[in-house]
Amino acid sequence: MHSELSVSLWRGGEDGRYETYSVPQRENQTVLDVVTFVQRHVDPTLSYRFACRVGVCGSCAMTVNGKPRWTCRTHVAKVAHGGRLEIGPLENLPVIKDLATDMRVFFEKWQEAKGVFAPTKTRHDAIAQIRPDTPARIAADAAIECINCGICYSACDTVRWNDDYFGPAALTRAWTLVNDERDGGNTARLQAIAGSGGCHACHSHQSCQQLCPQSLNPTAAIAGLKRRTVAAYLNGEITA
């Protein structure tokens, strides 16, 4: 094991650059530990984002040696080849400063894709009985474990090429709601995701599936949306 890690961190905004720091290498060290070491012991002006440190909140995603990763659950030993780490902000999002990105557009696209539950009942109605073994209920699991970390959005080639594209996370959320029997917003939702920024822009490169830290499969969810929007269009439920 190397006693010191050579760590390049992105410093500055969009026009910033990588600066290299020396960080002691330790057993069971995560990438977030490395970034925190620099902020606590080398340069307190380093900006980055984290909260829970245990893979629940989805705040700490960064680009590590070229791939987006959740840094709190990424062990240095698995990604630092030759004792070197290059850590940058998530791609496909505006850089605020250093390792912190502006994630507004990521969440705005969730709204555009109608990723909001549209209730059909009130608190005075009985609780809906949903059998756990129905195909729709199983399909609705697609995004339930999503932690909104933005890794799939950062990894997606289509997001890089097409500013209008909603991205894997928003579409996977939409697929969960499309399969939620309690939801009443499907016509508007399918209409929104049948447009040019919706599911049909996906090229099925599957980077989202490969890099999702929760092992979700947005590509499969988007394929489901393609089938559902085609059926809705042919039935006259939505327009192009």
Using CB under 8 A as the binding rule, whether residue 195 contacts another protein is answered as yes
Using CB under 8 A as the binding rule, whether residue 235 contacts another protein is answered as no
Neighbours of 205 (CB within 10 A): 13
- CB of 35 or CB of 232, closer to another protein: 232
- For the chain, count helices (H), then strands (E): 10, 7
Stretch that binds another protein, among 27-35, 100-108, 194-202, 212-220 (CB under 8 A): 194-202
How wide is the angle at C-alpha 144 spanned by C-alphas 131 and 89, nearest 5°? 170
Using CB under 8 A as the binding rule, whether residue 38 contacts another protein is answered as no
Nearest partner of 35 among 123, 94, 99, 115, judged by Cα: 99
Looking at residues 145 to 164 of the shown chain, list those that interact with another protein (rule: CB under 8 A): 158, 161-162, 164
Distance of alpha carbon 202 from alpha carbon 195, whole angstroms: 12
Per CB under 8 A, the list member of 55, 200, 206, 217 interacting with another protein is 200
Stretch that binds another protein, among 8-16, 77-85, 196-204, 209-217 (CB under 8 A): 196-204
Backbone angles phi, psi at 31, to 5 degrees: -65, -35
* 71 SS3 class: helix
Residues that bind another protein (CB under 8 A): 158, 161-162, 164, 194-196, 198, 200-201, 226, 229-230, 233-234, 238, 240
